[in-house]
Structure 1
């Protein structure tokens, strides 16, 4: 298959690009010539230098390594092309890729690790170019589009009103949108020297998961992704919601407590805080246990989750997930500045920053906490303590950037 990926950030390089690699596949990475600010914090490697390294690497290779790891356990990721683009340059880039591609006949997967729908115009331009050439008789296999963000689906991109001018009939006839669940803590992007050659390296935890939604119109993807790390799920939306609660929600709660307890130490890494005392280890365990119990109550009581509840042993699933997630939090050197990157002081230009952060947190913790409270007759103590930490941080004017 031919894999076109838009976005050379931590997640794109650390999870998306390597996950789809399989015997005989081709990987082409595209990134905007001038990148916008990263809402999850800056990295040690500037966007301009990252682009330069990916473009100039003679072996067309970059690396993924777990924090604290050594060169011996690096993952080598080879790509077949790297392109920077302005929006008007996408069409000739796609034409040039199709001219040299060996695997386009099997199928094309276009992925993007881009947060905002309005930034997908270049991706839609690429999809339209692929679709038109396919309709003109070029031997191009089935085309699939995956928005690799847990808060945005490919279908939502297709339906976004701001993009209606970029959506074409050819795209609708030829491209199958596919929902995805992505899960890997990619904590850094840096420059290393491999032998005598400078290269890009992503710092990412050992755990990595990318799942696609299995439907009747995506069954062909299973064969196309054979030999890759990609998995498939018929309950993808439910698993995404569970991930939001157990991973993102619990992570934020622990990070808020750590940031408050350390008196706003911006150099802190969450795993160092958790492992520093037995009491803090127990606190992290309690947050995860309370969130897991709340999630279980929601899954059993909400009819929306009936099909998942009938097909899956919920207790076993949540017990295994919670144990694995807690291990990830203990073992991954994740900077507090990355986890709480959106916890920023209000300014005249961004006067709703606290409101936005609080709403994002509430979306990830409210349902499990409310379900736990309703069932137990009392609020979960550890998670409540974390929410108090948020109040204390705001009251003291302690933010991740001030």
Structure 2
């Protein structure tokens, strides 16, 4: 019997996972620090909070709008070319953001350009690579770790971003983070290859047919509605929590720490959600997450401001942060299979980013109009209840096309 060929060391599963996790951290981390730049940029340039918030809102919107197309390209050509181009565009957006003094240019750099770059370098492309390259036994854990790695990036970049600002100024901090993002193309080389899994015994379809089928599926539409709320919460808190902390009389340093705590606890939350999604109905996992967010926000705004209440809130929200991703992605996979998984999840994610756009922009708008975030917090609670309810009627089974003929 001939010996089995040994894979080169850089193609071993553990190396592939390590490279993928590093990419997820490097691409998720810088975008999670945008709230740190709100105060220095608005003060130096004489902008309102709404101006900065609109740029980050556009970033989220263009990220979401481009995500289905990035997913389609990854489905067809593999994730590596998409990751390479996306990370270069992302880095360019960070550098150009550092040197803009015009509000419109800020919308184009921090908003449009960075949004397009993030869409083509997001951690979900790492999950596509894991789907293609890893043995079946490693995929469930790798998917959970891939999602959690984004939060690890948030945890690492929270103090790192603040340290860059303290050491290099806010402009130098943006350039430094751009340099780190440019490491991604080199790491992406490890993720080359791997075949797109093709289902057997089911009807093949085009990308357009896949979109039409999904948008005609009621459970998929409920999933889209719920993920809108996820984006609304996450983007608002990422951008506006650091200045809100200063507004309520807490040292601004704790605002950065709060974002880091969210990232830290989301590591556990994402892995736990992935584990639970394999054991209980995914729709129930999602409903519990959103109801939990509503409770956490309510307690936070009704509790007297303190460092302790801030950190407890950050830990609770962190546990419920991107824990929505494994069950949401899992439901898309169950309903429609893996053929166009990246593209169809991208459509759901576009809804997430529309929510992100409104969460960031309306947060700044309401603050400028009322001088407070109080109304916005209560809107967030109402939407959490809505999202908890809309996931309950989701049906967790494949479409008829994926059920093999007898």
TM-score category of the 2 structures, normalised to the smaller one = under 0.3
Tell which has more relative contact order, 1 or 2 (C-alpha 8 A, sep 6+). 2
Alignment TM-score, normalising by the size of structure 1: 0.24
Which has a greater percent of strand? 1
